[in-house]
Amino acid sequence: MRLFNFLFGSDDSSESSFGQTMYEIHIIGTIQANGPKSINRKIIVDETQRQLFTGSKRKEALEGWVRANYPGVTKVNSLAVVGSKRI
């Protein structure tokens, strides 16, 4: 039944197939990589990752995320988490 719900959608959309609550994080800012580049992305994360992006070490989490998703970044000018909402 879980496979069926995973493939065709379940009644409770706030939980993934593993029973974790998922959140949508909106990240905006600019980076320096062979010229300035704007970032305006929404990503879906679980509760633990949401706490990393909105907690006291959010700057380190954002820089790590940028370096993983945008190779060749020389400088992170400004990044911010605009909001997180439960999906």
Q: Could you tell me which of 82, 71, 85, 83 has the C-alpha nearest to residue 29?
A: 82
Q: What's the burial of 19, exposed, middle or buried (CB within 10 Å: 0-12/13-18/19+)?
A: exposed
Give the C-alpha separation, 85 to 50, whole Å.
10
Would you list the domain boundaries of the chain?
23-86
Q: Per-residue pLDDT tens for 42-63?
A: 999 999 999 999 889 899 999 9
Q: Per-residue pLDDT tens for 9-27?
A: 555 555 555 678 999 999 9
Dihedral sign of CA atoms 77, 82, 85, 87 in order: negative
